[in-house]
């Protein structure tokens, strides 16, 4: 055995700290904002089924691989990949995997922050009772008047970026760890309250049928790619976020158990969000395919009608903001860790610089909903935001994840992964290795080829 390495940025204080932080990264806007709206756009049940299959066959094996590489490398993803490639006698180009991840994280955060800004705006609106007694139309109008106003969006985007960079600047222990501990369980409780409300809307059954009874005729090849991309997005995989969190993980912690806990919690939150939102959609005659505004156009209807809705509504958006916050910090952490390691910057300096560039890029997303929403500003019929989302989530993350899997089981020596995973060489290890070696790469490649029309 080689002497164990430690990251220069510190370590998690315990197994729970890591599981919570990684769950904090995984559970975010992806579960509550994105999962319902893409499920609505892609017809429900069949899409959900493909998404769940992707979590199990692609997401879980890759998450184990990604945590493992991070813990073995103990550095930012670029340096981890360079170092591990060297250690395993492989080509230095593996470090570009780290670079692609940094780019993906930066691009995702630039729009993630804008959407988190919507949640900030809604915290104020629900809390002040704006939605009380409104019809679905009234709630819609409030959403459209928000996104039509670039200045307001910019103000909220700016606030969210500042919040994110403050936490990142404070570093692993004091910054990243603390926020998650109490807020995640509370979010779960609140989602249950909302599901409880939705059970009484009269459309709960219809929503369950929509979510869980698959109708494959509604699926296009592109839907399958989007379901897979979302599996990567929702588990924070394929860009080094989980790798960098893994690099702060103490040696004795079981990667397998942590992975199942994180993936389980993440999936639970997404399904609960679906069960809270779709009954409201159907009970109010709204369309499930309303797009990125879906939760902002549905949940306020419920808050406007339920007793204590102002309180519950404000609490819900507050928790959503925390969920987004703990995800956002992981999107930028690989870049910040790299700047600290290779550019000799202080964390504060690195966080400020990274935050400013991301903030600027976010303007493109803000304008996608107003001054650049016309056809003149679209490419392939997609706005800047749509393109950015498609490129990062459906292409960069699966490609990054594929390469992580390939590195972990093809480039790395078997002994290295046995020793790092720490589950021995028994059936569990062999199952992981088999799935990651054959099933995962083939599945990702087939879905890619299918989506571009080759298959
Ligand atoms: N998983 C988060 C969500 O569902 C988003 C996120 C955080 C992410 N870190 C990531 C997505 C890294 C991809 C890669 O909201």
| Spatial CA neighbour of 323 closest among 14, 18, 28, 45 | 28
Yes or no: say if 232 and 296 are a contact pair by the CB < 8 Å rule. Answer: no
Residue 1 is assigned to a structural domain of this protein: no
Closest listed residue to residue 422, CA positions, set 249, 271, 306: 249
Q: Smallest Cα–Cα separation from 336: which of 76, 10, 6?
A: 76
For ligand 1, atom 8, the nearest C-alpha belongs to 236
pLDDT for 168-205, tens place per residue? 888 756 655 666 777 778 888 889 988 999 999 899 99
In a domain, 7, yes or no: no
C-alpha 159/C-alpha 164 separation (Å) is: 9
Q: How far is CA 406 from CA 66, 75, 437, in A?
A: 11, 20, 7
Residue 30 CB less than 6 A away from ligand 1: yes
Cα 234 to middle of ligand 1, angstroms: 5
CB of residue 396 inside a 6 A radius of ligand 1: no
Q: Say what the pTM is.
A: 0.93
What are the pLDDT digits (tens) for 68-121? Answer: 999 999 888 999 999 999 999 999 899 999 999 999 999 999 999 999 999 999
C-beta 108 within 6 A of ligand 1 = yes
Report if residue 9 sits inside a domain. Answer: no
Range of the domain at 124: 15-451
Kindly state whether residue 237 falls inside one of the protein's structural domains. yes
* Residue 365 included in any domain: yes
> How many domains does the structure of the chain reveal?
1
Ligand 1 center to residue 34 CA distance, Å?
A: 11
Ligand 1 atom closest to Cα of residue 242: 12
Of residues 234, 199, 196, 309, the one with CA closest to residue 37: 234
Quick check: CB of 38 below 6 Å from ligand 1? Answer: no
The answer to the question of residue 6 being in a domain is no
Q: Say if 2 falls within a structural domain.
A: no
**Looking at residue 177, which CATH number applies to its domain?**
1.20.1740
* Inter-CA distances, 442 with 376, 386, 437, 446, Å: 39, 27, 9, 6
**Whose alpha carbon is nearest atom 4 of ligand 1?**
30
394, two tokens: 């459906």
Q: Give me the residues of the chain with pLDDT under 70, please.
A: 1-10, 172-179, 455
Do residues 321 and 119 lie in contact, with contact meaning Cβ atoms separated by under 8 Å?
A: yes
Ligand 1: centre distance to CA 379 (Å):
25
């Amino acid at each position: 055995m080689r002497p164990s390495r430690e990251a220069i940025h510190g370590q998690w204080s315990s197994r729970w700290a890591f599981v919570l932080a990684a769950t904090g990264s995984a559970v975010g806007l992806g579960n509550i904002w994105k999962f319902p709206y893409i499920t609505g756009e892609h017809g429900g049940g069949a899409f959900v089924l493909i998404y769940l299959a992707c979590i199990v066959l692609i997401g879980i094996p890759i998450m184990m691989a990604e945590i493992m590489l991070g813990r073995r490398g103990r550095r930012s993803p670029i340096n981890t990949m360079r170092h591990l490639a060297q250690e395993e006698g492989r080509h230095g180009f593996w470090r570009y995997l780290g670079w692609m991840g940094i780019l993906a994280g930066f691009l995702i955060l630039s729009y993630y922050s804008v959407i988190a800004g919507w949640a900030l705006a809604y915290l104020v609106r629900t809390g002040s009772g704006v939605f009380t007694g409104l019809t679905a139309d009234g709630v819609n109008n409030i959403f459209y008047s928000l996104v039509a106003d670039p200045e307001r969006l910019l103000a909220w985007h700016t606030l969210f970026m500042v919040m994110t960079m403050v936490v990142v600047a404070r570093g692993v222990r004091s910054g990243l760890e603390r926020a998650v501990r109490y807020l995640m369980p509370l979010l779960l409780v609140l989602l249950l309250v909302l599901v409880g409300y939705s059970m009484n809307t009269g459309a709960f059954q219809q929503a369950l049928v929509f979510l869980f009874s698959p109708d494959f005729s509604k699926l296009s090849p592109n839907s399958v790619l989007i379901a897979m991309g979302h599996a990567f997005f929702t588990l924070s995989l394929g860009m080094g976020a989980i790798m960098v969190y893994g690099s702060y993980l103490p040696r004795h912690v079981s990667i397998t158990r942590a992975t199942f806990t994180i993936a389980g919690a993440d999936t639970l939150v997404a399904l609960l969000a679906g069960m809270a939102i779709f009954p409201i959609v159907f009970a109010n005659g709204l369309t499930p395919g309303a797009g990125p505004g879906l939760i902002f156009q549905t949940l306020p209807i419920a808050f406007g009608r339920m007793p204590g809705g102002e309180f519950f509504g404000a609490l819900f958006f507050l928790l959503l903001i925390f969920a987004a916050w703990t995800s956002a910090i992981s999107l930028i952490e690989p870049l910040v860790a790299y700047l600290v390691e290779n550019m000799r910057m202080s964390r504060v300096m690195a966080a400020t610089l990274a935050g400013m560039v991301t903030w600027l890029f976010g303007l493109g997303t803000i304008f996608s909903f107003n001054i650049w929403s016309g056809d003149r500003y679209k490419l392939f019929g997609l706005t800047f935001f749509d393109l950015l989302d498609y490129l990062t989530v459906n292409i960069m993350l699966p490609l990054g994840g594929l390469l992580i899997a390939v590195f972990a089981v093809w480039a790395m020596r078997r002994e290295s992964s046995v020793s790092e995973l720490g589950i021995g060489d028994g059936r569990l290890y062999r199952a992981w290795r088999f799935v990651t070696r054959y099933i995962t790469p083939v599945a990702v490649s087939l879905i890619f080829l299918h989506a571009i029309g080759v298959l």
